[in-house]
Amino acid sequence: MSLQYLKLGFLASGSASSARAIVAAIQAGELAGEACVMVSNNRSAPALEFARAQGIAAVCIPTKDDAEAADRRIAEVMAEHGVELIIMSGYLRRLGPQTLARFAGRILNIHPGPLPAFGGEGMYGRRVHEAVLAAGAPESGIVIHLVDEEYDHGAHLAQTVVPIVAGDGPEDLEARVRAAEPGFFVETLQKLSRGELSLPAG
Residue 202, domain member (yes or no): no
Regarding predicted confidence, which is higher, 13 or 122?
13
Residues serving a catalytic function are 111
Task: Please give the pLDDT value at position 3.
Answer: 82
Residue 1, domain member (yes or no): no
Q: Domain total for the chain?
A: 1
Residue 199, domain member (yes or no): no
- In tens, the pLDDT along 109-135 reads 999 999 999 998 888 889 999 999 999
| Res 202 pLDDT > 60 | no
Residue 88, domain member (yes or no): yes
The CATH code of the domain that includes 178 is: 3.40.50.170
Helix (H) or strand (E) holding 85: strand 85-88
Residue 198, domain member (yes or no): no
Q: What's the pTM?
A: 0.94
Task: Please give the pLDDT value at position 151.
Answer: 81
Task: Please give the pLDDT value at position 121.
Answer: 86
Are 164 and 138 a contacting pair, CB within 8 Å? yes
> What residues make up the domain containing 125?
6-193
Q: What percent of the chain has pLDDT over 70?
A: 98
Q: Which of 94, 62, 65, 78 is nearest to 8 (CA)?
A: 78
DSSP states of 2-32 as a string? PPPPEEEEEEESS--HHHHHHHHHHHTTSS-
- In tens, the pLDDT along 83-111 reads 999 999 999 888 999 999 999 999 999 99
| Distance in angstroms (rounded) separating the CA atoms of residues 177 and 69 | 34
- In tens, the pLDDT along 130-159 reads 999 999 999 999 999 999 988 888 999 999
Residue 142, domain member (yes or no): yes
Mean pLDDT of 30-40: 98
DSSP states of 88-136 as a string? ESS--SPPPHHHHHHTTT-EEEEESS-TTTT-STT--THHHHHHHHHTT
Task: Please give the pLDDT value at position 125.
Answer: 87
Output the CA angle 29-30-35, nearest 5 degrees. Answer: 70
Task: Please give the pLDDT value at position 1.
Answer: 56
Are 41 and 60 a contacting pair, CB within 8 Å? yes
Residue 201, domain member (yes or no): no
What is the SS3 assignment for 76?
Answer: helix
Which residues, 6 or more positions from 145, have their beta carbon under 8 angstroms from its beta carbon?
Answer: 108, 109, 111, 115, 152, 153, 154, 155, 156, 157
Residue 16, domain member (yes or no): yes
